Structures are given as structure tokens and as C-alpha cells.
Structure 1
Amino acid sequence: MEFYPDVKLLHMLCAYLSVALFVTRLLLDLTGKFDWRKSALRHLPHVNDSILLTLALVLLAIGPWKPFLHQWLGIKILAIVCYVVFGFFAMKEKFRWPIRLIFSVLSIASLFLVFYLAKFKPVLF
């Protein structure tokens, strides 16, 4: 438990970086700068998200939170899955921009829910 604050801080930094990378890639696509798809920016979010997931599992192992006992955590995990699925479709070039924009908004809304649940840990049921 003594490492919990440090792991949590790293987890939060990776979460903020994940959002920044997602929004950056969306904005680059929106402005027609598709070169990022052939650069390290294409793979960096996957590396960051792998670290983020690993840190989340470490937090679950050393922390007091249990996904099935604390409902906010279970819903947070579902919201993360929604973020990943919506983000996947938002990044797909084969979709036209109105569809990608809808998936982008849904993905960012899922992120807001994740951050809200992480910050306030509301009792839901």
C-alpha cells in the first residue's frame, strides 16, 4: 500500500497523456494532416495505454478498491471500454467525417464519465 500514491500519480499522468494523444490525432485528421499515421504518433498511444492498463491493474492489486463491490469502479471500467470502442471508430479513415465526429464526441463523453467517476467515486446503488 505504500506505493499506491506513486502508482496512482503515474496512472493519472498516463490517463491525461492518453486524452492528449487522442485529441491531437483527431485534430490532425480534422485539419487534413494525415502524416501522423506514418510516424511514431501512430504507435505511441498504444504504448501509453498499455502502461495505463498495467498501472490500473497494479492499483487494483495493491489498493482498497474492488470493481464488483464499488459500483463506480465497475461503471468506470465499462466507460473505458466504451471510450476504446468509440475511439476506434473515430479514428477509422473509411468513415466520413460526420460519423467520425459522432464517435469522437461519444468517446470524449465516455472519458468525462471516467474522470468524473475516478474523482468523485459516487455511491450509485
Structure 2
Amino acid sequence: MTYLTLKYLHIGCVVLSGTGFFLRGVWMLRESPWLQKKVVRVLPHIVDTVLLASAIAMAVISAQYPFAADWLTAKLIALLVYIGCGAMALKRGRSKQQRALFLVAALVAFAYIVSVASTRNPLGFLAWFA
């Protein structure tokens, strides 16, 4: 598989993953029964696995790795923040208000990750304020 094919696969999974997370967050806030559907519980894991696998493959092909490329390090750290906030938003938050705050924080982290990837600058959209 070529780098360009992996890149488009990765971008497609980013769109699916982000859209799916946002939708599940809205459903969580509305207490929608859609959250209990099997496809809603399984599909995000499949998409995120392909997303991670394509990211690793692109890193290997391009020989750019976290802790060697500063923008990839920033993406990796932000990914961990996104995962933590996302888990709190969808499962572990104690109240709906707390879940909503974590949902917003996760979406900001997601936007930051996309901006870092787009600019290959570890500041991402924060560079506008620097």
C-alpha cells in the first residue's frame, strides 16, 4: 500500500471517528437509545483500529516518529488527552454536566490534533495566538 493510499485511508478514518464521537456525545447528552445499538458500540473500535494502523504504517514509511518529530509527539500527547476526555465524556463522567464538559474538551483536543496534522506544527491552531 502506498503512502498516499494510507494517507487517504487515515483521513477518511479521522472523519468517521470524529463524526462518530460527536454523534455519540450528542446521543449521550440526549440519553438516546441509539447508544445501545450494537453497531454503535462496535464500529468505533473498528474505525479507530484502522486509524491507528494507518498512522503507524505512515510513520514507518515516512520514517517520522513521535519523540523524533515534534509535531508527531504533540499529536500523540493530544491523542492521549482526547482518549481520556472521551472516556470521561461517554462512560466515566459522574453527571451529565461533567460529561458535557469532557465532551467539549475532547472535541477541542480532536480539533487540535487535526490542526497539528494539517500544519505539521506542534502548536497547531494555537500558533494563531502566538
Task: Give the alignment's Cα RMSD to 1 decimal.
Answer: 1.7
- Deviations 1:60-115, CA, capped at 9 Å, x for gaps: 11014222221111010110111111101100166211100111111011111100
Q: How many pairs does the alignment contain?
A: 123
Q: Give 2:37's aligned residue.
A: 38
TM-score, normalised by the number of residues in structure 1? 0.90
Counterpart-to-counterpart distance in 2, 1:36 and 1:121: 35
Unmatched 5+ stretches in structure 2: 124-130
Matched, 1:5 2:33: no
Counterpart-to-counterpart distance in 1, 2:34 and 2:86: 19
| SS of the residue 1:69 aligns to | coil
Q: Give 1:60's aligned residue.
A: 59
Q: Give 2:79's aligned residue.
A: 80
Q: 1:90 to 1:69 in 2, by over 3 A?
A: same
Q: Give 1:48's aligned residue.
A: 47
Counterpart-to-counterpart distance in 2, 1:51 and 1:44: 11
Q: 1:94 to 1:78 in 2, by over 3 A?
A: closer
Counterpart-to-counterpart distance in 2, 1:89 and 1:122: 28
Counterpart-to-counterpart distance in 1, 2:93 and 2:121: 39
Q: Which amino acid aligns with 1:67?
A: P
Counterpart-to-counterpart distance in 1, 2:62 and 2:101: 36
Counterpart-to-counterpart distance in 2, 1:57 and 1:70: 14
| SS of the residue 1:6 aligns to | helix
* 2:82–2:109 CA contact under 8 A, matched in 1: yes
Q: 1:122 to 1:41 in 2, by over 3 A?
A: same
| SS of the residue 1:29 aligns to | helix
Counterpart-to-counterpart distance in 2, 1:113 and 1:66: 19
Q: Percent identity?
A: 28
- Which structure has greater helix proportion? 2
Q: 1:102 to 1:94 in 2, by over 3 A?
A: closer
Unmatched 5+ stretches in structure 1: none
TM-score, normalised by the number of residues in structure 2? 0.87
Structure 1 segments, 4+ long, off by >4 Å, are none
* 2:29–2:100 CA contact under 8 A, matched in 1: no
